[in-house]
Amino acid sequence: MKYRIEGTPLPVVICTLENGESMITERGSMSWMSPNMMMETTSNGGFGKAFGRMFSGEALFQNRYTAQGGEGTIAFASSFPGSILALEITPELPIIVQKRAFLAATEGVELSVHFQRKFGAGFFGGEGFIMQKLTGRGIAFIEIDGHAVDYELAPGQQIVVDTGYLAKMDATCQMDITTVKGLKNKLFGGEGFFNTVITGPGKVTLQTMPIHSVAASLAPFFSGGN
């Protein structure tokens, strides 16, 4: 499989598949394709895994697209202004991504639910108890909100992230929360009561325009106020 990512701020990934190659995608993610791409709707691992994907914000079923009779082309466009990232998934290093980030992947990559181990991180960390986990081997494409900024954390090294800015992290990283110090800071600082703390080792990718921040900024314009 070959691919190229084009466009900004609404990117698209265009994939070229050899005869017999397949890709897995969420329902409704396909934007355009060549006529020889055959679609099959599947639970992709049985209903147990399908329900797990549903809890992580994805559809119950997935679509498998296979090139038949020669080389085929299929494209997947983002649903929000931001970036599409290509991730190399290996059995040695699964990757954790935010809910609804998954766009498409080559066969061999599995999408499953990932529960936060700590109650506080799940409840206050901005991503909820449930994130998405990508395992197996292959290339996965995810969409994030805004531009991607990467950090490589050494063992024990930490980064403090405002709610919703975490796009993905290596499964070797740990996620927890910390409270904003000082009552005045909590009430009047505009940053809320909690921040997310990511501890290495591993790679962390942050996003510059979380969709919830955009929604909060636009809400006054749709509420009927002047």
* pLDDT over threshold 80, residue 185: no
The model's pTM: 0.82
Q: What is the pLDDT of residue 56?
A: 46
Angstrom distance (rounded) from CA 221 to CA 10: 23
Q: Where would I find the beta strands (DSSP E) of 36-192? A: 37-42, 62-67, 72-77, 82-89, 95-97, 102-106, 109-115, 130-136, 138-145, 148-153, 158-161, 166-170, 174-179
User: In this prediction, what percent of the chain has a pLDDT beyond 90?
Assistant: 55
Q: Give the amino acid at 159.
A: I
Residue in the structure block whose two tokens are 């934007």: 31
Determine the average pLDDT of the residues in 21-48. Answer: 84
Residues 114 and 96: beta-carbon distance below 8 Å: yes
> For residue 201, is the peptide bond before it cis, meaning its omega torsion is within 30 degrees of 0?
yes
Angstrom distance (rounded) from CA 210 to CA 208: 6
pLDDT in tens, 141-165: 999 999 999 999 999 999 999 878 9
**What's 180's DSSP letter?**
P
pLDDT in tens, 95-144: 999 888 999 999 999 988 876 655 444 444 445 457 889 999 999 999 99
What's the CATH fold of domain 2-216?
A: Double-stranded beta-helix (3.60.160)
